[in-house]
C-alpha cells in the first residue's frame, strides 16, 4: 500500500513544479515585454538625440532648407543663377556636418586614421562634383575645381587654422611634427611634377604624337601617382602609426578628459550619418553642376573664378571647421593632417582617379591644367613648404597664408580660360 501511495503522491509532487515553472515563464514574458518597451523608448530617444546633434544643434544647419529649395527652383523656374546660389548654400552645412560625423568617428579610430578620415570625407564633396562634371564633359570645371580645393586647403584653411590657433595660444609657440609635414610637401611637389610636364609638353608643341602624347602621359602619370598615394597610406598606417603622437601626448589628463566628453555619437551612428550625408551631397551636386554654366552667364563671372574659388570654399567647409577647431585646441598635428593631408589626397588621389575614371568613360581628362593654373599651384606649394619647414606656427604665418589666398582669388577673378584650351 505504501508503494501505491508513493506512486499516487508522485503526480502531486510533479504537478507543483509544473505550475510554478509556468508562473516563472509568465513572469519572464512580462519582464521581456517591459524590457522591449524600455529598449524601444531608449532607441527612439537615442535616434532623436542623434538627429538633434547632427541636423539641428549646429547653427549652420539653418542653411539645410536651401538644398530642397534649390531643387524646387530648378523645376519651377529654371533660373540657373538662383539654383546655383541656393545649391551652394545647401551643400555648405552638409560639408560641415560631414566633418562633424568624421570627427566623431575619429574618436574611435585614433588620430592618424582620424586625420585620414577627415581628409577623405572632407573631399567627398569635391569628388562627387567632379564625377558629375566629368559625365557632362565639363573637363575644365573638374580640373579647376580640384585645383581650387588644393589652393583653398593649403592657403585659406591652413591660414585660418594657424591664425586662430596663434591668437588662442599667443603666449606660446605652437609646434607640429616636421616629419609628417615634409612627407606631405614631397607628395605635393610630386603632384606639381605630374601636372607641370603635360602642360609644358603641350605649350611647347613638343609632343611626339600631336594631340595624343599629353593624354597618354597624363594617364601614365596618374597611375604612378595612385601607386605613390597607396604607398603613402601604407607608410602612414603601418610604418608610422604614431606619426601624430609626439605633440598629442604632451597634453595633460585634463585635456584627455575633455576629449572624452566630446564624444556624442556612437561609432555606428557616425558611419550611418556619413552615408546619409554623402548621398544627399551627391544629389545636390548634380543640380549644382547643371547650373554652373548658366550661373556664369547670369552672374557675369568667369567659369575659372566659380570653379577655383566658389566651389572649393563650399566643399572645404568640413576641413575649414575641423582644422580651426583642432588648432584652437593646440592639436596642430591633426590640423596638418586635415588641411595639408586633404590637399595631398586631392592632388595624389582624386585628380589621378578622375583621369582614370575619364579614361574608362571615354573622356579625355588629362593633367594639362594650363600654364596659369600650374604656375599658381607650383608657387603655392613652395610658399606652404617654406612656412612649415620649421615645424612651428603663429598667427602671423596664418595671416600671410590668408593674404596669399586673396591674391590668388583676385587673380582668378580677372582670369579667363584661353579658347584654345577649352577642349
Greatest alpha-carbon span in the chain:
120
pLDDT in tens, the chain (423 residues): 444 444 445 445 444 444 444 444 444 555 555 554 565 565 778 888 888 888 888 888 888 899 999 999 888 887 888 888 899 888 888 877 877 887 788 788 766 676 667 666 767 777 888 888 898 888 998 999 899 989 999 999 999 999 999 998 888 888 888 888 888 889 999 999 999 999 999 888 888 888 789 999 999 999 999 999 888 888 877 765 544 443 444 444 444 434 444 788 888 888 888 888 888 888 888 888 888 888 888 888 888 899 899 888 877 766 677 788 888 888 888 888 888 888 898 999 999 999 999 999 888 899 999 899 999 999 999 999 998 888 888 899 999 999 999 999 999 999 887 765 444
DSSP type of residue 65: T
> Which pLDDT score is estimated for 318?
65
Tell me how far apart the alpha carbons of residues 384 and 278 are, in angstroms, rounded to a whole number. 30
> Which pLDDT score is estimated for 259?
44
Residue 258 grid cell: 575633455
- Residue with cell string 501505491: 4
The CATH-assigned architecture of domain 67-421 is Up-down Bundle (1.20)
Closest CA to 292 of 90, 131, 138, 66: 138
> Which pLDDT score is estimated for 359?
92
> Which pLDDT score is estimated for 396?
92
Contacts of 62 (CB under 8 A, 6+ apart): 93
User: What is each CA distance from 132 to 229, 278, 285, in whole angstroms?
Assistant: 24, 14, 7
Please, are residues 119 and 341 in contact by the beta-carbon 8 Å criterion? yes
**3 state SS of 385:** helix
Closest CA to 380 of 410, 338, 352, 343: 343
Tell me how far apart the alpha carbons of residues 371 and 199 are, in angstroms, rounded to a whole number. 6
Tell me how far apart the alpha carbons of residues 306 and 358 are, in angstroms, rounded to a whole number. 22
Amino acid at each position: 500500500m505504501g508503494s501505491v501511495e508513493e506512486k499516487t503522491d508522485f503526480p502531486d509532487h510533479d504537478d507543483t513544479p509544473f505550475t510554478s515553472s509556468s508562473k516563472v515563464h509568465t513572469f519572464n514574458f512580462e519582464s521581456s515585454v517591459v524590457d522591449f518597451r524600455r529598449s524601444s523608448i531608449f532607441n527612439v530617444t537615442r535616434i532623436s538625440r542623434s538627429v538633434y546633434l547632427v541636423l539641428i544643434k549646429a547653427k549652420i544647419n539653418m542653411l539645410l532648407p536651401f538644398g530642397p529649395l534649390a531643387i524646387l527652383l530648378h523645376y519651377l523656374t529654371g533660373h540657373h543663377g538662383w539654383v546655383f546660389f541656393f545649391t551652394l548654400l545647401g551643400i555648405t552645412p552638409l560639408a560641415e556636418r560631414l566633418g562633424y560625423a568624421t570627427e566623431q568617428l575619429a574618436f574611435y579610430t585614433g588620430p592618424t586614421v582620424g586625420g585620414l578620415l577627415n581628409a577623405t570625407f572632407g573631399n567627398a564633396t569635391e569628388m562627387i562634383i567632379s564625377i558629375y562634371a566629368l559625365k557632362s564633359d565639363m573637363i575644365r570645371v573638374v580640373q579647376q575645381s580640384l585645383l581650387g580645393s588644393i589652393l583653398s586647403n593649403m592657403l585659406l584653411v591652413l591660414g585660418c587654422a594657424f591664425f586662430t590657433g596663434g591668437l588662442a595660444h599667443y603666449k606660446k609657440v605652437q609646434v607640429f611634427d616636421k616629419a609628417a609635414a615634409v612627407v606631405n610637401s614631397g607628395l605635393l611637389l610630386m603632384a606639381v611634377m605630374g601636372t607641370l610636364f603635360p602642360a609644358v609638353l603641350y605649350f611647347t608643341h613638343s609632343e611626339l604624337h600631336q594631340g595624343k602624347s599629353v593624354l597618354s602621359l597624363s594617364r601614365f602619370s596618374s597611375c604612378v601617382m595612385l601607386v605613390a598615394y597607396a604607398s603613402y597610406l601604407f607608410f602612414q598606417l603601418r610604418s608610422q602609426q604614431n606619426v601624430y603622437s609626439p605633440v598629442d601626448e604632451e597634453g595633460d589628463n585634463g585635456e584627455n578628459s575633455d576629449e572624452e566628453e566630446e564624444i556624442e555619437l556612437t561609432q555606428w551612428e557616425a558611419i550611418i550619418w556619413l552615408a546619409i550625408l554623402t548621398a544627399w551631397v551627391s544629389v545636390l551636386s548634380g543640380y549644382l553642376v547643371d547650373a554652373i554654366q548658366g550661373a556664369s552667364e547670369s552672374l557675369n563671372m568667369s567659369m575659372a573664378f566659380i570653379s577655383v574659388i566658389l566651389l572649393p570654399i563650399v566643399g572645404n567647409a568640413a576641413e575649414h571647421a575641423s582644422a580651426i577647431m583642432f588648432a584652437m585646441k593646440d592639436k596642430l598635428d591633426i590640423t596638418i593632417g586635415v588641411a595639408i593631408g586633404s590637399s595631398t589626397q586631392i592632388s595624389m588621389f582624386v585628380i589621378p582617379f578622375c583621369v582614370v575614371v575619364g579614361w574608362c568613360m571615354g573622356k579625355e581628362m588629362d593633367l594639362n591644367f594650363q600654364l596659369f593654373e600650374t604656375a599658381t599651384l607650383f608657387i603655392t606649394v613652395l610658399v606652404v613648404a617654406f612656412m612649415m619647414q620649421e615645424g612651428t606656427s603663429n598667427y602671423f604665418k596664418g595671416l600671410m597664408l590668408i593674404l596669399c589666398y586673396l591674391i590668388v582669388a583676385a587673380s582668378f577673378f580677372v582670369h579667363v580660360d584661353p579658347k584654345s584650351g577649352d577642349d
